[in-house]
Amino acid sequence: MEKVPDINVEEIKGKLGKTLKTGIALFIGLAVVLIMNPFVIVGAGERGVVLNFGAVQKDVLGEGIHFRIPIMQKVVKIDVKVHKSETGAEAASKDLQDIRSTIAVNYHILADKANWVYQNLGISFKERIIDPAVQEVVKAITAKYNAVELITQREKVRDEIKSLLKQRLMNYSIVVDDFSIVNFKFTQQFEQAIEAKQTAEQLALKAQRDLERIKIEADQKVASAKAEAESLRLQKENVTPQLIRLRQIEASIKAIEKWDGHLPKINSGAVPFIDIKSLEKE
């Protein structure tokens, strides 16, 4: 019969203790890592601004996973995608007509300047930077045109506002991608005056067309009368004594052809006479 080896309880306890301690150490280490969070993920369309104890650093983190020094470093994510901003603007034209407009701007911040934007503008910069810039630019451009020019040259006005706005916002590392005037309104009194002017112009144009039509019709009648007079004149010129005599001869010949050989019965006793000799002379 084989002898059963003695079980060293103390040795087993020692091994279990070491395993337990290792597990606890790993758990604590993992917990510390999770708590300290030494990794940061910068998503698509974002940039990471690195702060060392609150101080903005020159390096800007691109998209992906990055390591940071716990406690010492903090990474602030800045959105660099295109955003839309709508701003209401009130201005006056060159002839002092009040204008109310709504301006839509598509913009984004320069990715490599995300740290500068965060340091100088912060995250919420629309109300402090974009809206005042839009209002200032709209006032500057509309003051160069009178109200009628603002309507008839709207595309030119839009391009000038966009160009000046690009220059202003580029100073803040903000790029204007697109620009549009969503709404452009004058006062009700001015709009009524414009409508009345358009109505008057349409009526004047209609009157001018009617006058031209009447003139054309009159010219046509004059031309027709002239043509008729000319025709009569030509006919009169063509009526010669020879033509008259020829027509008389033709009439006499037709009368002879129709005569049945009997003298007409006339109460006066007179007999119609046809001068045959005269016809022969012709």
Q: Where are the domains of the chain?
A: 35-79, 83-186
SS3 of residue 138 by DSSP: helix
Is residue 1 pLDDT above 60, yes or no? no
Residue 86: which of 74, 64, 104, 65 has the closest Cα? 104
Q: Which residues are within 8 A (CB) of 11 and not within 5 positions of it... i.e. 6 or more apart?
A: none
Q: Which residue has the higher pLDDT, 215 or 137?
A: 137
pLDDT at 10 over 70: no
- The length of the chain, given as a count of residues: 282
Q: 18 is written with which tokens?
A: 């070491």
Q: How many CA atoms lie within 13 A of 77 on its CB side?
A: 13
Residue 131 has pLDDT above 80, yes or no: yes
The number of beta carbons lying within 10 Å of the beta carbon of residue 47 is 25
Greater pLDDT, 25 or 89 = 89
Distances (CA, A) of 191 to 8, 21, 98, 121, 203: 104, 85, 11, 40, 18
CATH fold group of domain 83-186: Tetrahydropterin Synthase; Chain A (3.30.479)
Q: Would you place residue 30 in the very low, low, confident or very high pLDDT band (cuts 50, 70, 90)?
A: low
- pLDDT at residue 236, rounded to an integer: 66
On average, the pLDDT of the chain sits at 79
Q: Which residues of 127-165 are buried (b: 16+ CB within 10 A; e: fewer)?
A: eebbbebbbebbeebbeebebebbeeeeeebbebbbebb
